[in-house]
Structure 1
Amino acid sequence: MNILYVEDDEKAASAVMNLAASFGENVVWENNGTSGLSRAASQEFDVIILDRMLPDMDGLSVIKRLREAGVDVPVLMLSALARSENRIEGLEAGVDDYLAKPYEPQELLARIKALVRRSTNRSHSAIIIYGAFECHIKARTAFRDNVHIALSPKEFELFKYFMENAGEMVTRDMLLRDVWNMNFDPQTNVVDVNIGRLRRKLEDGFSRPALETIWGSGYRLTTGS
């Protein structure tokens, strides 16, 4: 995986680059927005990590120029500005995920792997297969062990999201943002209600669980087998 990392903090960049290298990932580091734009235009990357506060131009300006130029590489924005309106600004500008500082380098690496996987699934596959589960995107159908699972439109969107993030933890904030477009409303129980319905349908007639609850954090799709 080739990663472009645009970050002016050398210490933070070094920590992420060392971690990525330990997993065999290649990271190209640029310490300002201008050089980051130039590098993104001249080289192919699987994902871009973009700091919001840069010395020459802010990350929002960088992402807007990237999208205007037709660069559709997944972008993860990093920022100390963690309020919901700051996240919404980033998402509306064209970023695919938003991670607040301070963060753990391991979480950052997990996020970028999930972005790359989701991008690949959406771009190149009409069917996503994970363990016993199949998600037929164009037909909007779901299967477990070749058994059709009847889902409502919203349940299918939720199932597809779990398949796009198969094996990774999915948080409530991620589901609210990406499935319901609700922009981090902490009061709603819409996620819990729909997770319960989806879990019942995916597990009906099967002995093994389909969705794992990670208490206090989120959910993870199992292989179902």
Structure 2
Amino acid sequence: MTETSAPLIVVVEDEEHLAQGLLFNLQAEGYRTHHEFDGDSALAYLLNPKEPIAAILLDCMLPGADGFTIVRALRAAELYTPVLMLTARSRPEDILEGIEGGADDYLAKPFDLNILLVRLKSLLRRTSWQNTSSSVAALPAPSDQPTEYSFNHRTIRFDELELVAPNRTTHLTLMEADLLRYLTDREGQIVSRKEILEQVWRVHEDTDTRAVDNFIVRLRRYIEDDPANPQHLLTVRGVGYRFLANP
């Protein structure tokens, strides 16, 4: 891989020692890098990049615009560059706010560098599945998982991170696609809020489960003919949710 073809990773981190460590190790792995210290300059750069960005490592707490504001602005502008958010270990609410805002994955500080690199490569694989001309070598999807799921004239394309409906195609974040896969794999079964937190989002702390409810509301806008009267993604009062392909 030549230097000019190497994926560009943008690091948005205001802690100097952490940022320099990330930049050094990313470059050692063969990536090109760009660094922004504060949220306002990062947002300006990310909304108008001078070249394609492969992925963003985004701290949630920054001077100026915070990471949550940045990821929401990117998604509102229909920019779906993969975002790996870096969160404080003691704040599970950061994780959920990032998920709701449109982040694709998260990693709690302090983190192991090897885990960060694995998560990053996973996000880049997703991009390569969507775009065969990506500079990252395309890898096949796991053979034991379906790449599509169809119901009610809609098709979820898990590898492409898309939900195709008769009148529109909706881009999905990685975590939206992961939750839809988890629910469709368990079609007809009741899935608790706690199970979603722990098995899909890997949040093990005591956390306000209303974040799950807010997320479900957004998914209903994608998959229901009438989101106010859902037929597929049903609430099981006091427990969680159940997905039905054919109500």
Pairwise TM-score range, normalised by the shorter structure? 0.5 to 0.7
In the alignment, which residue of structure 1 is the partner of 2:186? Answer: none
Alignment of 1:1-225 (within 5 A): 1-40=7-46, 41-43=48-50, 44-122=52-130, 129=140, 133=143, 137-138=147-148, 179-180=181-182, 182-184=196-198
TM-score normalised over the length of structure 2: 0.54
Please state how far the C-alpha of 1:37 moved relative to its aligned partner: 1.4
Distance 1:21 1:128 in 2: 22
Q: Which secondary structure does the structure 2 equivalent of 1:54 belong to?
A: coil
Please state how far the C-alpha of 1:26 moved relative to its aligned partner: 0.7
Matched residue type, 1:42: P
Please state how far the C-alpha of 1:21 moved relative to its aligned partner: 1.2
Distance 1:18 1:31 in 2: 16
Please state how far the C-alpha of 1:85 moved relative to its aligned partner: 3.3
> How many residues matched?
155
Please state how far the C-alpha of 1:79 moved relative to its aligned partner: 1.2
Please state how far the C-alpha of 1:179 moved relative to its aligned partner: 4.1
Q: Which secondary structure does the structure 1 equivalent of 2:125 belong to?
A: helix
Distance 1:135 1:183, change over 3 A: closer
Please state how far the C-alpha of 1:39 moved relative to its aligned partner: 1.6
Matched residue type, 1:50: L
Distance 1:69 1:38 in 2: 12
Distance 1:136 1:64 in 2: 29
Q: Once the two structures are aligned, what percentage of the paired residues are identical?
A: 32
Distance 2:41 2:35 in 1: 10
Q: Which runs of 5+ in 2 are unaligned?
A: 1-6, 150-155, 160-174, 184-195, 205-247
Distance 1:76 1:95, change over 3 A: same
TM-score normalised over the length of structure 1: 0.58
Contact 1:7 1:32 in 2 (8 A): yes
Please state how far the C-alpha of 1:35 moved relative to its aligned partner: 1.3
